[in-house]
Amino acid sequence: MLVGNWEKGTGEVYTATLKGIIDYRNAAHVRVYLRVTNSVILISSGGIVFMNGHLHAGFNNTDIQLVYQYFGIDGQIPFSNLNIIVVVHG
């Protein structure tokens, strides 16, 4: 799914929330990946360095929250959309 609803928080932190995406009983079995070109990268297990920042995914009941902390100083998030994959393991 393409995620493009990024909201600027304090400093250079941006968040996007995917509401109602998971069943809270399965949250321990959910993995969130970023698709970049021909790769998929796990971002729900500590996050990754991505486009001069840090990107990770967390869970809150039925929601997935993506958090991107930009290390730059120009105040502009360096992307408009990210291709995110959510997988629930049984």
Question: 55: Cβ–Cβ under 8 A, 6 or more apart, which residues?
Answer: 34, 43, 47, 48, 66, 67, 68, 82
Within 10 angstroms of residue 36's Cβ, the number of other Cβ atoms is 13
**Residue 70 β-bridge partners:** 53
**Span 1-59, pLDDT tens digits:** 999 999 999 889 999 999 998 876 766 688 999 999 999 999 999 999 999 999 999 98
- The per-residue pLDDT for 2 is 94
Residue 58 in tokens: 């967390």
Domain extent at residue 36: 2-88
Query: CB of 45 within 8 A of CB of 30?
Result: no
**CATH number (domain holding residue 34):** 2.60.40
The total of structural domains in the chain comes to 1
- The per-residue pLDDT for 14 is 95
